[in-house]
Copies of this chain bind each other. A is one copy, B any other.
Amino acid sequence: MSLTAKGLATRARIVEGAADYLRGTDDGEITLDDVRALTGTSKGQLFHYFPDGKDELLLAVVRLEADRVLDDQQPYLGDLTTWASWERWRDAVVARYRAQGTRCPLNALMGQVGGVPGAADVARTLVGRWQGHLADGIRAMQATGDVRADLSPERTAAALVAGIQGGVLLLRTTGETAHLEAALDVLLDHLRAS
């Protein structure tokens, strides 16, 4: 099955339509009929472009959203070499999730659509890259003497990722960004104070 330009467009429309819908839902549930209605397509098309059915479609959505996660934190995430950059990154993260309210595409997808085979791998890759960027930033700050040298970049970066994930999870259940901000601020304080 090779795809023509028209086919590619339709396929993309399906994935993006599903992603949009999932971004606006709390429970992370979606049916193929929802997708059909949303994207003006038919069952035949759905299974034409995603022969393995719903799982394959959802995996495509997960990949799309996973890419967005890091993109939304750029350009700061890729250049955490000054405190100002760290601050802007922190604000970007909070803003991104605050805008999303109680919904979170990825967190929701991993949790509720966690049954999708392959989704865990996407998540692992994402976490690894995220943590890598943060660790790079910490190392950069250590190089300039802004952060104590005896602090483990990887471990601290891991704590940051965990704090953000937990903060978002709590945002989803409480509707408040308090935990997310607390986690970010306390950990940034830790970097500064060191």
Contact = CB atoms under 8 A, between A and B. Distances in A.
Interface of A: 26-29, 107, 110-112, 114-115, 120, 123-124, 127, 155-156, 158-159, 161-170, 172-174, 178-180, 182-183, 185-187, 189-190, 193-194
Copies in the complex: 2
Contacts of A194: 193
B115 A173 contact: no
A108 to B, nearest CB: 8
A156 B124 contact: no
A112 to B, nearest CB: 5
Contacts of A168: 166
A169 B163 contact: no
Given A162-B182, A186-B156, A193-B193, A170 B114 contact: no
Contacts of A112: 111-112, 114
Contact of A163 (B115, B159, B178, B189): B159
A190 B190 CA distance: 6
Contact of A162 (B107, B123, B183): B183
8 interchain residue pairs of minimum CB distance:
A111-B111, A166-B166, A165-B166, A162-B166, A158-B182, A159-B186, A162-B183, A162-B179
A127 to B, nearest CB: 6
